[in-house]
Protein backbone atom coordinates (compact mmCIF):
# COMPACT_ATOMS: atom_id res chain seq x y z
CA UNK A 1 0.00 0.00 0.00
CA UNK A 2 1.30 3.36 -0.91
CA UNK A 3 1.51 6.24 1.55
CA UNK A 4 -1.21 8.10 -0.38
CA UNK A 5 -3.72 5.35 0.42
CA UNK A 6 -2.73 5.36 4.09
CA UNK A 7 -3.10 9.15 4.30
CA UNK A 8 -6.46 8.99 2.46
CA UNK A 9 -7.84 6.25 4.73
CA UNK A 10 -6.56 8.17 7.78
CA UNK A 11 -8.23 11.38 6.59
CA UNK A 12 -11.52 9.59 5.92
CA UNK A 13 -11.48 7.84 9.29
CA UNK A 14 -10.58 11.11 11.06
CA UNK A 15 -13.44 12.86 9.26
CA UNK A 16 -15.90 10.12 10.24
CA UNK A 17 -14.65 10.24 13.84
CA UNK A 18 -15.09 14.03 13.86
CA UNK A 19 -18.64 13.72 12.47
CA UNK A 20 -19.51 11.14 15.14
CA UNK A 21 -18.20 13.47 17.87
CA UNK A 22 -20.16 16.43 16.49
CA UNK A 23 -23.30 14.29 16.31
CA UNK A 24 -22.78 13.07 19.86
CA UNK A 25 -22.36 16.66 21.13
CA UNK A 26 -25.48 17.65 19.21
CA UNK A 27 -27.48 14.84 20.81
CA UNK A 28 -26.27 15.86 24.28
CA UNK A 29 -27.21 19.49 23.60
CA UNK A 30 -30.66 18.47 22.40
CA UNK A 31 -31.21 16.39 25.54
CA UNK A 32 -30.26 19.37 27.73
CA UNK A 33 -32.53 21.63 25.68
CA UNK A 34 -35.40 19.18 26.02
CA UNK A 35 -34.87 18.97 29.79
CA UNK A 36 -34.92 22.74 30.14
CA UNK A 37 -38.01 23.03 27.93
CA UNK A 38 -40.19 21.03 30.34
CA UNK A 39 -40.43 23.76 33.04
CA UNK A 40 -40.81 26.37 30.33
CA UNK A 41 -43.70 24.44 28.81
CA UNK A 42 -45.39 24.28 32.22
CA UNK A 43 -45.03 28.05 32.56
CA UNK A 44 -46.41 28.57 29.08
CA UNK A 45 -49.44 26.42 29.93
CA UNK A 46 -50.08 28.57 33.02
CA UNK A 47 -49.84 31.73 30.94
CA UNK A 48 -52.24 30.34 28.34
CA UNK A 49 -55.01 29.94 30.92
CA UNK A 50 -57.30 32.95 31.21
CA UNK A 51 -57.18 34.99 34.37
CA UNK A 52 -60.38 35.03 36.35
CA UNK A 53 -61.19 38.45 37.71
CA UNK A 54 -64.21 39.62 39.60
CA UNK A 55 -66.29 42.07 37.63
CA UNK A 56 -67.50 45.14 39.44
CA UNK A 57 -69.98 47.29 37.64
CA UNK A 58 -69.34 51.00 37.43
CA UNK A 59 -71.61 53.18 39.50
CA UNK A 60 -72.88 56.61 38.71
CA UNK A 61 -71.44 59.48 40.66
CA UNK A 62 -73.61 62.13 42.14
CA UNK A 63 -73.07 65.65 43.40
CA UNK A 64 -72.78 64.26 46.94
CA UNK A 65 -69.74 62.19 45.86
CA UNK A 66 -67.99 65.25 44.45
CA UNK A 67 -66.58 66.39 47.79
CA UNK A 68 -65.19 62.91 48.49
CA UNK A 69 -63.58 62.70 45.04
CA UNK A 70 -62.04 66.16 45.31
CA UNK A 71 -60.80 65.40 48.84
CA UNK A 72 -59.15 62.18 47.66
CA UNK A 73 -57.57 64.05 44.74
CA UNK A 74 -56.17 66.74 47.05
CA UNK A 75 -54.84 64.05 49.38
CA UNK A 76 -53.04 62.30 46.48
CA UNK A 77 -51.57 65.59 45.24
CA UNK A 78 -50.40 66.50 48.74
CA UNK A 79 -48.81 63.06 49.19
CA UNK A 80 -47.02 63.48 45.86
CA UNK A 81 -45.72 66.92 46.85
CA UNK A 82 -44.63 65.63 50.27
CA UNK A 83 -42.74 62.76 48.63
CA UNK A 84 -40.98 65.17 46.25
CA UNK A 85 -40.08 67.49 49.13
CA UNK A 86 -38.76 64.58 51.19
CA UNK A 87 -36.65 63.47 48.24
CA UNK A 88 -35.25 66.98 47.86
CA UNK A 89 -34.48 67.13 51.58
CA UNK A 90 -32.67 63.76 51.45
CA UNK A 91 -30.64 64.93 48.45
CA UNK A 92 -29.67 68.19 50.17
CA UNK A 93 -28.72 66.32 53.35
CA UNK A 94 -26.57 63.91 51.34
CA UNK A 95 -24.86 66.80 49.55
CA UNK A 96 -24.21 68.54 52.89
CA UNK A 97 -22.48 65.44 54.27
CA UNK A 98 -20.25 64.97 51.23
CA UNK A 99 -16.56 65.56 51.76
CA UNK A 100 -15.73 67.81 48.81
CA UNK A 101 -12.20 69.10 48.34
CA UNK A 102 -12.72 72.86 47.95
CA UNK A 103 -9.51 74.01 46.32
Task: Write down the pLDDT at residue 22.
Answer: 96
How far is C-alpha 94 from the geometric centre of its chain's CA atoms?
A: 32
- Phi-psi region at 58: left, alpha or beta (left = phi > 0; alpha = psi -120 to 50): beta
Task: Write down the pLDDT at residue 55.
Answer: 82
Instruction: Return d(Cα 32, Cα 45) in angstroms, integer.
Output: 21
Task: Write down the pLDDT at residue 11.
Answer: 93
Asked if 68 and 76 touch (Cβ cutoff 8 Å), the reply is: no
Task: Write down the pLDDT at residue 61.
Answer: 76
The Cα-based distances of 48 to 36, 41, 42, 53, 55 in angstroms read: 19, 10, 10, 15, 21
Task: Write down the pLDDT at residue 91.
Answer: 93
Residue 32: CA count within 13 A, CB half-sphere: 6
Which sequence spans correspond to the domains of the chain?
Answer: 3-50+69-96
Task: Write down the pLDDT at residue 82.
Answer: 97
pLDDT profile of the chain (103 residues), mean per 10: 87 94 95 86 82 81 84 95 96 85 65
Amino acid sequence: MSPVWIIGIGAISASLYWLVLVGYRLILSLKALKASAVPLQASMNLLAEPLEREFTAARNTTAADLSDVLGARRKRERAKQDAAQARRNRLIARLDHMNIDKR
